[in-house]
């Protein structure tokens, strides 16, 4: 295809296909690759030049990283630190753009921890504590393990050293709060899926929750991480602690509402809405969640009650009209929904982008196909929900 321009999405797709081909090759030829890493990287570069000539330095380097991680993931020598260092050195030499070693240093540090080299692992990771939320807990774990390895005589120098290690573990968890690093920035690395590293993170988060019972941030970090990782079990466990300790914290109430909604626990959702309303009687957010629950359950009496409260809070008319329409749609009332749509057109204007979208999706609301009807209802409900939350300045669920 020469050097002709291709959309970035197409380039990514072709790279993913090539990555899959190499992954299959690596799984079959792992020992051969381990024995001659330079030849392997030469093969990778030749394939990139042939398949995607003119590839940007950024994509080129990302592919080199992916190949290094794939080799390490498959290799029987992945726990040998000298081999890991050698592999990463070759990968670095073959990159075209930035020679930043951060991802390799982090991966090497995690490998050190996995092989019991705790002091070396902690030292290796120190300068990358802001990279991802898994780093500080990993360093803290190193100090925690080192502090429990022996039981020296009290007042001895060794006793003081281990006491300092235990304190250092706590300090690293406090650093996690101070630095507030991003969650799952390293998700593309091999360590992101390593069960040992994940176990370390959750072990240290739970330790910190016990060490610092009045500090909400460890619970917040754990809940956000559990949400992004799809760990509903851990999220529920942490929310139970959070609501008990910080019953009036809106973040935790919001997350509990979301969890109950995902679990289709209408009674639980209603309970959270009631608690929110009691704690934040002057806020529109709890009222909005009550409206949302009423729409999902198609409860006219409840919807009317919350709508009246919303009107009293000077809720924008646009939001109320959209929610009325959503309620009639979810209740399956086609004629009433059409009447609500007429009001929306008058208020928004017939050429408004959101009105155009709703009208297009609403075509399937009249379908006799149950699947189409269900999809239409969900699309209408979700889009109106997102629009109203933005209009009302409510944090996304």
What are the DSSP calls for 224-244, one per residue? Answer: HHHHHHT-HHHHHHHHHHHHH
Asked whether residue 341 is assigned to any structural domain, the reply reads no
Asked whether residue 379 is assigned to any structural domain, the reply reads no
User: Does the structure show a pLDDT above 70 at 121?
Assistant: yes
CA trace torsion 159, 163, 164, 165 (10° rounding): 100
Asked whether residue 62 is assigned to any structural domain, the reply reads yes
Q: How confident is the model at residue 106 (pLDDT cuts 50, 70, 90)?
A: very high
Alpha-carbon gap, residue 390 to 294, rounded angstroms: 20
For the ranges 61-75, 91-105, 156-170, 330-344, the lowest mean pLDDT is seen at 156-170
pLDDT of residue 162: 72
Which of 314, 295, 313 has its CA nearest to residue 304?
295
Domain with 84, as residue range(s), is 1-100
Read off the tokens for 30. Answer: 């792992």
- Mean pLDDT across 232-251: 96
Q: How confident is the model at residue 122 (pLDDT cuts 50, 70, 90)?
A: very high
DSSP state letter for 367: -
Alpha-carbon gap, residue 136 to 174, rounded angstroms: 9
User: Does the structure show a pLDDT above 50 at 35?
Assistant: yes
Domain boundary (100, 128, 152) is at: 100
Tell whether 95 and 120 lie within a shared domain. Answer: no
pLDDT of residue 175: 97
Q: Pinpoint the alpha helices (H) of the chain.
A: 8-28, 30-35, 37-51, 57-74, 81-94, 102-114, 118-125, 135-148, 157-179, 195-211, 217-229, 232-245, 250-262, 266-279, 284-297, 300-312, 317-330, 334-348, 353-362, 370-391
Q: How confident is the model at residue 267 (pLDDT cuts 50, 70, 90)?
A: very high
pLDDT, tens digit, 9 for 90 and up, residues 191-234: 667 788 899 999 999 999 999 999 999 999 999 999 999 999 99
Tell whether 122 and 169 lie within a shared domain. Answer: yes
User: Does the structure show a pLDDT above 70 at 73?
Assistant: yes
Per cent of the chain over pLDDT 90 is: 77
Asked whether residue 212 is assigned to any structural domain, the reply reads yes
Tell whether 84 and 125 lie within a shared domain. Answer: no
pLDDT of residue 290: 96
User: Does the structure show a pLDDT above 80 at 373?
Assistant: yes
């Amino acid at each position: 295809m020469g050097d002709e321009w291709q959309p970035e999405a197409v380039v990514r797709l072709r790279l993913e296909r090539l990555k899959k081909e190499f992954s299959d090759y690596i799984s079959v030829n792992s020992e051969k690759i381990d024995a001659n890493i330079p030849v392997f990287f030469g093969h990778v570069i030749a394939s990139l030049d042939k398949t995607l000539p003119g590839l940007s330095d950024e994509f080129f380097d990302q592919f080199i990283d992916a190949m290094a991680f794939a080799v390490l993931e498959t290799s029987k020598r992945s726990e040998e630190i000298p081999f890991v260092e050698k592999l990463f050195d070759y990968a670095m030499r073959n990159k075209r753009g930035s020679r930043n070693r951060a991802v390799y240093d982090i991966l090497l540090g995690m490998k050190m921890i996995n092989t019991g080299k705790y002091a070396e692992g902690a030292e290796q990771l120190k300068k990358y504590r802001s990279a991802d939320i898994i780093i500080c807990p990993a360093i803290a774990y190193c100090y925690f393990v080192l502090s429990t390895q022996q039981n020296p005589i009290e007042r001895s120098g060794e006793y003081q050293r281990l006491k300092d290690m235990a304190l250092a573990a706590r300090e690293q968890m406090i650093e996690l709060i101070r630095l507030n690093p991003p969650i799952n920035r390293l998700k593309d690395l091999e360590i992101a899926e390593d069960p040992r590293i994940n176990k370390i993170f959750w072990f240290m988060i739970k330790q910190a929750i016990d060490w610092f019972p009045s500090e909400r941030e460890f619970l917040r970090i754990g809940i956000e991480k559990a949400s992004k990782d799809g760990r509903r079990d851990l999220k529920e466990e942490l929310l139970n602690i959070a609501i008990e300790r910080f019953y009036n914290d809106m973040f935790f109430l919001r997350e509990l509402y979301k969890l109950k909604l995902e679990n289709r626990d209408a009674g639980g959702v209603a309970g959270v809405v009631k608690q929110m309303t009691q704690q934040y009687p002057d806020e529109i957010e709890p009222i909005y969640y009550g409206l949302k629950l009423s729409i999902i359950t198609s409860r006219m009496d409840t919807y009317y009650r919350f709508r009246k409260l919303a009107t009293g809070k000077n809720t924008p008319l646009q939001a109320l009209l959209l929610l009325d329409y959503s309620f009639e749609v979810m209740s399956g009332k086609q004629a009433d929904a059409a009447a609500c749509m007429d009001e929306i057109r008058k208020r928004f204007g017939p050429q408004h982008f959101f009105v155009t979208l709703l009208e297009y999706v609403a075509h399937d609301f009249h379908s006799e196909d149950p699947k189409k009807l269900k999809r239409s209802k969900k699309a209408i409900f979700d889009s109106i929900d997102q629009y109203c939350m933005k209009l009302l300045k409510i944090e996304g669920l």
